[in-house]
Amino acid sequence: MKDFHIDREARGAIQLIKLSGSLDMYSFPRLESQLSGMFEQGLIRVVLDCRNLDYIGSAGLGALIGFAKQAREKGGDVKLLNVPERIYKIIELLGFTKVLQVHETEEAALGSFAS
């Protein structure tokens, strides 16, 4: 099982967070801490690049919805990018795609904040 890694880059006012490895209950607190810290600084426009993510757990997805809602209340959002097909199938099955925006390209994800 791959270790979980988080890499953060700023794209103007948007934070692009590249995730790799398994996002499960064991690793999620690290992302939670990263997002909480960013929200405290007012960085509420977030794109999570999931290209190298090999697993995401149900509790992690639920918590992401919570972060997305928090961000929306302040005019921001948390969106997903490059979601691998096997993970997309899961989040679509569970209906998470109704509350978390998923984009296929970085351009589309970043551009969606302007619209």
Chain positions contacting another protein, by CB under 8 A? 1, 22, 24-26, 55, 57-59, 61-63, 65-66, 90, 93-96, 99
Cβ atoms 22, 54 nearer than 8 A? yes
By beta-carbon proximity to another protein, the closer residue of 67 and 113 is 67
Which class for 106: exposed (0-12), middle (13-18), buried (19 or more C-beta within 10 A)? middle
Residue 73 beta carbon to another protein: minimum distance, rounded to whole angstroms: 14
| 21's tokens | 């490895």
| Nearest distance from C-beta of residue 22 to another protein, angstroms | 7
